[in-house]
Amino acid sequence: MRSKQAKRTITATVVGIAVIALLLYILFPFLVALNTALKTKAEIYSGEVYWIPRMPTLRNFIDIWSQIDFARYLLNSVIVCVGTSTLATISAAMAAYSLANMKFRFNKVYLNLVILTQMFSPIVLIIPLYRMLVNIKMSNNLFGLILLNTAVVLPFTIWLAYGFFKSFPQDILEAGLIDGCSGLNALFRLIMPIIRPGLVTLVIYTFAFAWNEFLFAYTIITKSRLKVVAVGIFDFVRMYNADWNYITAALLVAVVPIFVLFLVIEKNVVHGLAEGIGK
C-alpha cells in the first residue's frame, strides 16, 4: 500500500516538473517580449541586461500608436480579416451545403479537387497571382489581398463546413423542402440555426488565417499606408532595429486578439480535423 502511495507522489512530481518546463518553453519568447515592452528605451540600452524591469512602464503600449503607424496597420488587418472571413465563410457554406445535402453527379469529383488544392502552397502560387493582380491593377489593394487569402483558406474551410453540413439530419431538411422551403430558405431557416457553432468556427478560423497570413500581405502590398499588422511591424524591425521597446509592445498587442479567438474555436477545429483525418 505504501509503495502505491509513493508511486503516486513520484508521478505527481514528474507531471508537475514537466508542466512547468512546458510552460517555460512555450512562454519564453513572450516573457522576453513582455520584459522589453515594460522597459524604456534608455533602460534597454543602459548596458545592463536583466529579467525584471527596475522601473516598469506602460508607456510603450501608448506610444506605439504614435511611433508606429499601428492604428492604421490594425485597421488594414481588420478590413482584410473581415473581408476574407465573410467571403470564405459564405462561399464555403454554400459549397458545403451543395456537396453535403444536394444531389449532383460531380460532388465527389469536386470535393476531391478541393482537397487536392492542399498540395499547392501559397509560395507556388505567388508569382502568377502577383502577375494577375498587377495586370488588373489590384496589387496594392486590400481587396486584392482579400481575394488571394480567400482562395488559399477556402479549401480547408469547405472541408470543415462539409463536416458540419454532413452532420445535419437529412430528413429534417427533406421535410422542410417538401413544406415549400426553397434551397436558400432551407439554408438560412433550417440549417444555419442548427449548425451555428460550426459556422462560428468557420468565421473565426478564416479570420485568424487572414490575420496570420504573411507571404501575400508582404509581397502584394508595398504602400506603407495599406500594410497589415505583421508586415508593418516587420518593416519597423528592418528600418528601426533599435526600437525594440515599441516593437515588442506592438507584437504583444497583435497576438492578443487572435489568441482570444483561438481559445473559442480551438476544440472545434481540432475535433473537426481529427475526425476528418480519421475518415
Partner 1 sequence: MNRYFGYRILQRIRPVLFLLPSAFFIFGLVYYPVINAAIISFFDYNVLSREMSFVGLKNYLFIFNEPLFITIFQRTIVWTVTVVGGTTIVALALARLLDVQFPMKAVVRSIFILPWATSLALSAMLYRWALNSERGLLNYTLKEVLHVIDQNVGWLATGQTAFPWLIYVGIWVSIPFTTLVILASMQSVPRDLYEACALDGASGIQRYRYITLPSIRPIILITILVNFIAVFNSFPIIWVMTEGGPVNETDIMVTILYKEAFKFLNFGRASAVAVLIFVFLFIISVFYLIMLSRQEQ
Is there a contact between 224 and 69 (Cβ–Cβ < 8 Å)? yes
Residue 279's alpha-carbon distances to 99, 163, 239, 271, 275, in angstroms, are 17, 11, 49, 12, 6
What is the nearest approach in angstroms of partner 1 to the Cβ of residue 160?
Answer: 13
Of residues 16 and 197, the one with the C-beta less far from partner 1: 16
Distance of alpha carbon 197 from alpha carbon 200, whole angstroms: 5
What is the nearest approach in angstroms of partner 1 to the Cβ of residue 150?
Answer: 6
One-letter amino acid for residue 27 of the chain? L
Rg of the chain taking only CA atoms, in angstroms: 24
Q: What angle do CA 201, 202, 206 make, to 5 degrees?
A: 115
What is the nearest approach in angstroms of partner 1 to the Cβ of residue 97?
Answer: 6
What is the nearest approach in angstroms of partner 1 to the Cβ of residue 58?
Answer: 19
Of residues 63 and 187, the one with the C-beta less far from partner 1: 187
Of residues 63 and 129, the one with the C-beta less far from partner 1: 129
Of residues 21 and 71, the one with the C-beta less far from partner 1: 21
Helices (H), the chain: 2-37, 41-44, 59-67, 70-101, 107-116, 122-135, 142-166, 170-178, 183-185, 192-194, 196-212, 215-220, 229-239, 244-278
What is the nearest approach in angstroms of partner 1 to the Cβ of residue 45?
Answer: 7
Of residues 95 and 190, the one with the C-beta less far from partner 1: 95
Of residues 58 and 127, the one with the C-beta less far from partner 1: 127
For 215-244, b where at least 16 C-beta lie within 10 A, e where not — what string? Answer: ebbbbbbeeeebbbbbbbbebbeeeeeebb
What is the nearest approach in angstroms of partner 1 to the Cβ of residue 173?
Answer: 13
